[in-house]
Amino acid sequence: MVQAHYPFVKTTLNHLELISDPEVDAVAIATPVSTHFDLVNQALQAGKHVLVAKPLASTSQQAEDLIVKADHRNLILMVDHTFIYTGAVRKIQELVSANALGKIFYYDSVRVNLGLFQHDVNVIWDLAVHDISILDFVIPMFPNLVSTTGMNHVPGQPEDIAYLTLFFDDSLIAHIHVNWLAPVKVRRTLIGGERKMIVYDDLEPSEKVKVYDKGITVNNDESLYRALFDYRTGDMCAPQIDKTEALKSETMHFIDCIESGNKPITDGKAGFRVVRILEAATKSLMQHGHPVEPSP
């Protein structure tokens, strides 16, 4: 089918033929998660730069091994955390890093829809990986504990609904809700800070990111006749964001890193951190929500 539309593109059914081609400098791998480690490992051993679909690998040990191999061969290893390359998420990261929100209190996201069921991974590894990668990029803190509950409603199939809670230092908490069985598609994230708050709705056609000047001020007067909190309600603004298609930005970044030797934004280490959280979430899920510390 590919050749029918693009007759000048060379195709093959054997990945080794592609990896061993001396004219190929880099490969993109978009295959089931269980195959990532072997395929990326083979590509790195053949001296190819690699862009691999999320998540980087099935285990943190596999991810760490791939990072070592890429570094040893001075090759670019980049993970397809697609949302990091959207103008919306880049704008959010810019606002957070500039301390526009003040101290971050919480990160709360919902990513639900009807399908598409995956057979090799559960809803956490399929959908929550997006929100974990966004959280990792926007707020440069790593969770101390992960608590996850979920359920499968199709016999013999992976969990199709899950709720993840991530606990951080400094009173930061993150909650991620993912679901393959929702009647509507929702892609919404709330980020609350002491100064301002953000609503990020990826399904909004234009104003995907809205910044609200809302919050509370703690009143130091402990009088029984005076409220302890003052509520602040200010303006809402929708900052202008880059409309460049995410995959285009990501591909150009991959090429630039190969040519310049710069480290990708979503490098192997970013993929490693995400897999560590996914592993902890999976362990907690098996223990009915018991908090699990991510592997070191």
Residues 115 and 234 reside in one and the same domain: yes
Location of structure tokens 């504990």: 145
Q: Does 212 lie in the same domain as 172?
A: yes
C-alpha 293: how far from chain center: 19
Boundaries of domain holding 17? 2-81+247-267
The predicted pLDDT at position 125 comes to 97
What's the pLDDT score for residue 89? 98
Structure tokens given for 67: 């990072």
**Greater model confidence, 229 or 49:** 49
pLDDT confidence of residue 264: 98
Say yes or no: 151 and 194 in one domain: yes
For residue 232, tell me if it sits in a domain: yes
pLDDT digits (tens, 9 = 90+) for 196-255: 999 999 999 999 999 999 887 766 665 555 556 677 788 999 999 999 999 999 999 999
81-115 residue pLDDT tens: 999 999 999 999 999 999 999 999 999 999 999 98
First to last CA, the chain: 45
Residue 117 burial (10 A CB sphere; 0-12, 13-18, 19+): middle
Residues 151 and 223 in one domain: yes
Report the number of distinct structural domains present in the chain: 2
Q: What is the band of 150 on the pLDDT scale with cuts at 50, 70, 90?
A: very high
Whether residues 163 and 45 share a domain: the answer is no
At 139 the pLDDT is: 96
Here the CATH number for the domain that contains residue 139 is: 3.30.360.10
CATH number of the domain that residue 22 is part of: 3.40.50.720
Q: DSSP 3-state assignment of 137?
A: helix
Cα–Cα distance, 115 to 185 (Å, whole number): 10
- The answer to whether position 89 is within a domain reads yes
Report the C-alpha gap between 228 and 216 in whole angstroms: 10
Q: Is residue 51 part of a domain?
A: yes
pLDDT for position 226? 56
pTM (predicted TM-score): 0.93
pLDDT at 223: 58
**pLDDT tens profile 153-178:** 999 899 999 999 999 999 999 999 99
Mean pLDDT along residues 53-78: 98
pLDDT at 90: 98
**212 — phi, psi (to 5°)?**
-110, 130
Summary mean pLDDT of the chain: 94
Residues 192, 76 within the same domain: no
Whether 291 is covered by a domain: the verdict is no
Q: Are residues 95 and 229 in the same domain?
A: yes
Q: Do residues 24 and 154 share a domain?
A: no
Distance CA 202, CA 89 (A): 9
In a domain, 29, yes or no: yes
State whether 27 and 173 are in the same domain: no
